[in-house]
Protein backbone atom coordinates (compact mmCIF):
# COMPACT_ATOMS: atom_id res chain seq x y z
CA UNK A 1 0.00 0.00 0.00
CA UNK A 2 0.91 3.66 -0.14
CA UNK A 3 2.82 5.32 2.68
CA UNK A 4 4.57 8.60 3.45
CA UNK A 5 7.39 9.10 5.91
CA UNK A 6 8.33 12.54 7.15
CA UNK A 7 11.13 13.65 9.42
CA UNK A 8 10.01 14.06 12.99
CA UNK A 9 9.68 17.48 14.49
CA UNK A 10 9.65 19.93 15.87
CA UNK A 11 12.10 21.69 13.63
CA UNK A 12 13.25 24.86 15.34
CA UNK A 13 15.01 27.56 13.32
CA UNK A 14 15.96 31.18 13.58
CA UNK A 15 14.46 33.66 11.14
CA UNK A 16 16.23 33.69 7.74
CA UNK A 17 17.65 30.19 8.23
CA UNK A 18 17.48 27.53 5.50
CA UNK A 19 14.75 24.94 5.84
CA UNK A 20 14.62 21.32 4.71
CA UNK A 21 11.85 18.92 5.71
CA UNK A 22 12.46 15.43 4.40
CA UNK A 23 9.70 13.32 2.89
CA UNK A 24 9.96 9.88 1.31
CA UNK A 25 7.17 7.74 -0.03
CA UNK A 26 6.17 4.26 -1.09
CA UNK A 27 3.55 3.94 -3.79
CA UNK A 28 2.42 1.86 -6.70
CA UNK A 29 2.28 3.57 -10.04
CA UNK A 30 2.95 7.25 -10.50
CA UNK A 31 1.39 9.26 -7.70
CA UNK A 32 0.98 13.00 -7.44
CA UNK A 33 2.89 14.48 -4.50
CA UNK A 34 1.79 17.32 -2.27
CA UNK A 35 2.84 19.50 0.60
CA UNK A 36 0.06 20.87 2.78
CA UNK A 37 0.47 23.43 5.56
CA UNK A 38 -1.67 23.80 8.67
CA UNK A 39 -1.37 27.08 10.54
CA UNK A 40 -2.48 27.14 14.18
CA UNK A 41 -6.25 26.92 14.47
CA UNK A 42 -6.80 26.56 10.73
CA UNK A 43 -7.50 23.81 8.22
CA UNK A 44 -4.98 22.32 5.81
CA UNK A 45 -3.99 24.42 2.83
CA UNK A 46 -2.24 23.16 -0.27
CA UNK A 47 1.26 24.63 -0.36
CA UNK A 48 2.60 23.04 -3.54
CA UNK A 49 2.38 19.92 -5.62
CA UNK A 50 4.12 17.97 -8.38
CA UNK A 51 2.48 15.45 -10.66
CA UNK A 52 5.38 13.69 -12.40
CA UNK A 53 9.02 12.84 -11.98
CA UNK A 54 11.46 15.77 -11.97
CA UNK A 55 8.64 18.31 -11.64
CA UNK A 56 9.34 21.09 -9.16
CA UNK A 57 6.47 22.55 -7.20
CA UNK A 58 6.92 26.01 -5.73
CA UNK A 59 4.90 28.56 -3.79
CA UNK A 60 5.63 31.37 -1.31
CA UNK A 61 9.36 30.70 -1.52
CA UNK A 62 8.95 26.98 -0.78
CA UNK A 63 10.10 24.36 -3.28
CA UNK A 64 10.02 20.60 -3.62
CA UNK A 65 11.21 18.36 -6.46
CA UNK A 66 9.60 15.01 -7.34
CA UNK A 67 12.52 12.54 -7.27
CA UNK A 68 11.36 9.15 -8.51
CA UNK A 69 14.79 7.54 -8.23
CA UNK A 70 14.97 8.28 -4.49
CA UNK A 71 11.16 8.31 -3.94
CA UNK A 72 11.49 11.65 -2.21
CA UNK A 73 9.77 15.04 -2.18
CA UNK A 74 11.77 17.15 0.27
CA UNK A 75 10.47 20.62 1.14
CA UNK A 76 12.95 23.51 1.11
CA UNK A 77 12.94 27.23 1.71
CA UNK A 78 15.96 29.48 1.52
CA UNK A 79 15.00 31.94 4.25
CA UNK A 80 12.21 31.18 6.72
CA UNK A 81 10.09 33.77 8.48
CA UNK A 82 8.30 33.68 11.81
CA UNK A 83 5.02 33.52 9.88
CA UNK A 84 6.09 30.15 8.40
CA UNK A 85 5.62 28.54 11.81
CA UNK A 86 3.08 25.78 11.18
CA UNK A 87 2.73 22.03 10.70
CA UNK A 88 3.72 20.73 7.27
CA UNK A 89 2.24 17.53 5.82
CA UNK A 90 3.64 15.58 2.91
CA UNK A 91 1.07 13.55 0.98
CA UNK A 92 0.63 11.42 -2.11
CA UNK A 93 -2.41 10.53 -4.16
CA UNK A 94 -3.01 8.17 -7.04
CA UNK A 95 -5.79 6.34 -8.77
CA UNK A 96 -9.09 7.72 -9.95
CA UNK A 97 -10.39 8.66 -6.51
CA UNK A 98 -7.17 10.49 -5.56
CA UNK A 99 -7.54 9.63 -1.92
CA UNK A 100 -4.38 11.08 -0.39
CA UNK A 101 -2.13 9.33 2.08
CA UNK A 102 -0.62 11.81 4.53
CA UNK A 103 2.54 11.74 6.56
CA UNK A 104 2.39 12.45 10.29
CA UNK A 105 3.31 16.09 9.85
CA UNK A 106 6.38 18.08 10.85
CA UNK A 107 6.03 21.06 13.15
CA UNK A 108 8.17 24.07 12.23
CA UNK A 109 8.90 26.75 14.82
CA UNK A 110 10.70 29.87 13.64
CA UNK A 111 12.12 32.25 16.24
CA UNK A 112 12.80 35.95 15.59
- Read off φ and ψ for residue 88, nearest 5 degrees: -110, 130
Report whether 46 contacts 107 (CB < 8 A). no
Interstrand relation of 32-38 and 44-50 (parallel, antiparallel or unpaired):
antiparallel
- Indicate whether 105 belongs to the interface with another protein (CB under 8 A): yes
- Indicate whether 93 belongs to the interface with another protein (CB under 8 A): yes
Cα 82 to Cα 53: distance, rounded to the nearest angstrom:
32
Interaction pattern, residues 24-63, with another protein; x per rule: CB under 8 A: --------x-x-x-----xxxxx--x-x------------
| Footprint on this chain of another protein (rule: CB under 8 A) | 4, 32, 34, 36, 42-46, 49, 51, 89, 91, 93, 97-105
Amino acid sequence: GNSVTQMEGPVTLSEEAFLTINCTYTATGYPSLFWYVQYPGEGLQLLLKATKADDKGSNKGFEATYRKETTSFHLEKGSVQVSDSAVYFCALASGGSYIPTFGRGTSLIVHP
